[in-house]
Amino acid sequence: MSVVEVKGLTVRYGSFTALDNLSVSIPSGSVGLLGPNGAGKTTLIKTILGFVTPASGSATVLGHDVATEDRLIRQKIGLMPEQDCHIPGMSAVQFVAYAGELAGVPPNNAIQRAHEVLEYCGLGEARYRKVETYSTGMKQRIKLAQAIVHGPKLLLLDEPTNGLDPAGRESMLDLIQSVTHEKGLNVLVSSHLLPDIERVCDEVVVVMGGKLVASGLIKDLKVIAGSPVDVELRETNDGFVKYLQDHGAGVEIRGPYSYRVQSTLSEAEKRLLVLAAARESQAQVRGLVLAERSLEEAFLTAVSGGGHQFEF
Partner 1 sequence: MSSSPIADLSYRNYDGPLEPINHRWWSIAKSTMRLGFTNRFTWFFSFASGWYFYAMIFFIFIVDKVVESQPNPDAATAITSFFGSVRWNDKFLHGFQYGQFFYFVVAAILGSGAIANDVRANALLVYLSKPISKRDYVIGKWFGVFLPLLVIMGAPFLLFYLYGAMSFRDKGFISQDPWLFFRMLGLVTFCAGFYASLAMGISSMFSQGRSAGAVFAGLYFLTNFFTVPMSFGYMAMTGQQGRGRHRQEVAQSGLDALTYLSHASLDGINSALAKSVLGNPTTFPLAGNARGPVAGVPAPTIWFGLGIGLALVALCLYMAWRRVRAVDIVG
Identify which range of 21-29, 77-85, 226-234, 256-264 contacts partner 1 by CB under 8 A.
77-85
Site string for partner 1, 38-67 (x = CB under 8 A): ----x--xx--x-xx---------------
Q: Within positions 272 to 311, which residues make up the interface with partner 1, using CB under 8 A?
A: none
Contact status: 15 vs partner 1 (CB under 8 A): no
DSSP states of 18-68 as a string? EEEEEEEEEESSEEEEE--TTSSHHHHHHHHHT-S--SEEEEEETTEETTT
List 16, 83, 256, 305, residue binding partner 1 (CB under 8 A): 83
C-alpha 69, offset from chain centre: 26
> Which string of b and e fits 221-258 if b means at least 16 CB within 10 Å?
beeeeeebbbbbbeeebeebbebbeeeebebeeeeebe
Contact status: 16 vs partner 1 (CB under 8 A): no
List 86, 129, 181, 260, residue binding partner 1 (CB under 8 A): 86
Identify which range of 144-152, 201-209, 246-254, 276-284 contacts partner 1 by CB under 8 A.
144-152
Contact status: 116 vs partner 1 (CB under 8 A): yes
In the bound state with partner 1, the residue whose beta carbon lies nearer, of 44 and 278, is: 44
Q: Within positions 152 to 211, which residues make up the interface with partner 1, using CB under 8 A?
A: 158, 178-179, 182-183, 185
Identify which range of 2-10, 109-117, 165-173, 209-217 contacts partner 1 by CB under 8 A.
109-117
Q: Which residues bind partner 1 (CB under 8 A)?
A: 42, 45-46, 49, 51-52, 71-72, 74-75, 77-79, 81-90, 98-106, 109, 113, 115-117, 119-120, 124, 132, 146-151, 158, 178-179, 182-183, 185
